[in-house]
Amino acid sequence: MKKLIQFKNIVKSFDNQIVLKGINLDIYENEFVTLLGPSGCGKTTLLRILGGFLEQTSGEIVFDGDEISKVPAYKRNLNTVFQKYALFPHLNVYDNIAFGLKIKKQSKDIIEQKVNRMLSLVGLEGYAKRNVTLLSGGQQQRVAIARALVNEPDVLLLDEPLGALDLKLRKEMQHELKKIQQEVGITFIFVTHDQEEALTMSDKIVVMKDGEIIQIGTPTEIYNEPVDEYVARFIGESNIIDGVMKEDYLVDFDDKDYKCVDHGFRENEPVDIMIRPEDIDIVARNKGVLNGEVKSTLFKGVHYEIIVETVSGTSKTVTMHVLGNKDIVNEEEKEKISASNFYMDLEDVPNLTTGDVTARANAQAWNFDNEDLSISKVTYDVKN
């Protein structure tokens, strides 16, 4: 894939506040890239600098081989979709989408062809003559996306475009947006603070914190191999507990055995253990690593969320998820589910409101203070 955009050491200060602290990031053609981070971490500022609405304090942006810092916004071949749709209220759907093409003085036939293609792309065939102010939020956002794409930009910038929509519509639009991006085949740079949204749509996620990039990776990399505790806690749920290394293993799923692989952890070395709630299995009493007591069980639809207070070592609360729909797990399915996922008899789940439970966890261990150590699956003892 061709490198399309390079941020080179981008620094941005407002008055005396440094908002971006030296951003280095490469973005490729046809990528769906998400800038993800909590409110105030600098996502929008970075997007606005790329869009040409703000100038960086120092650093360079290279776009398709050219340094563009001094190129005005309207000459950059990109377009932006905002959370607030900013449609022209006095124009109908067709004229909103056609606006940019009319300014470029394109012929009536070409305009009609392009606008119709956009209407079909965003699923608004038959809405051409509608007044935009009478459309739903989701429909208005579709018009805004069509208007931004009709000029055939190389890059579409999307600043929390789904933020104003209700949850159901938001989820629908996540799939729509991904589909649209694949259909038009251009780079989308999407800003959100919603980790689920980022995981659902992105080819690449850029996790930011306080004006810095903390990790860049695919959704699975970010979820399975977070570089630090901040990412582990921000993306998905995780239990992080202190441990001491006993043996260093990789799980071999084929024969459901463990193979010993040396990842460089020393015996008895203190490690941070991250366990995803869905990776904890309940097993027969005293067969697991973590012993605990169930404090509460909540039915969440897809899964039960079970809060367990561990009783081995220091008392600690651990959250675990167990599939909630009994019907989807029959004996055959159970066989297919890898050893990492599931062990328990689902009939028992709703009764797990109190009492003892023994859990066995597939944990990942890090030493967050030592960057040289790689990730591995391990067995561990909870630290006393």
Question: In terms of Cα–Cα distance, which of 190, 188, 234, 276 is closest to 37?
Answer: 234
Closer Cβ to ligand ATP, 206 or 359, answer by number:
206
Shortest distance, position 312 Cβ to ligand ATP, whole Å: 40
Closer Cβ to ligand ATP, 193 or 377, answer by number:
193
How far lies 199's CA from each of 32, 119, 178, 193, 347, in Å?
A: 11, 27, 12, 11, 32
CA distance 40 to 264: 37
Binding residue for ligand ATP, selected from 14, 88, 253, 299, defined by CB under 6 A: 14
Shortest distance, position 66 Cβ to ligand ATP, whole Å: 25
Closer Cβ to ligand ATP, 43 or 360, answer by number:
43
Interaction pattern, residues 182-211, with ligand ATP; x per rule: CB under 6 A: -----------x------------------
CA distance 84 to 88: 12
Q: Does 140 help bind ligand ATP (rule: CB under 6 A)?
A: no
Closer Cβ to ligand ATP, 53 or 88, answer by number:
53
Q: Does 138 help bind ligand ATP (rule: CB under 6 A)?
A: no
Interaction pattern, residues 219-238, with ligand ATP; x per rule: CB under 6 A: --------------------
CA distance 252 to 260: 9
Shortest distance, position 114 Cβ to ligand ATP, whole Å: 32
Contact 359/320 with Cβ under 8 angstroms?
yes
Strand partners, 294: 308
Closer Cβ to ligand ATP, 197 or 272, answer by number:
197
Q: What is the CA radius of gyration of the chain?
A: 25
CA distance 107 to 118: 17
Strand partners, 297: 306
Binding residue for ligand ATP, selected from 4, 5, 10, 19, defined by CB under 6 A: 19
Contact 106/98 with Cβ under 8 angstroms?
no
Q: Does 16 help bind ligand ATP (rule: CB under 6 A)?
A: no
With a CB cutoff of 8 Å and minimum separation 6, the contacts of 196 are none
Interaction pattern, residues 30-69, with ligand ATP; x per rule: CB under 6 A: -------x-xxxxxxx------------------------
Site residues (CB under 6 A) for ligand ATP?
A: 14, 19, 37, 39-45, 193
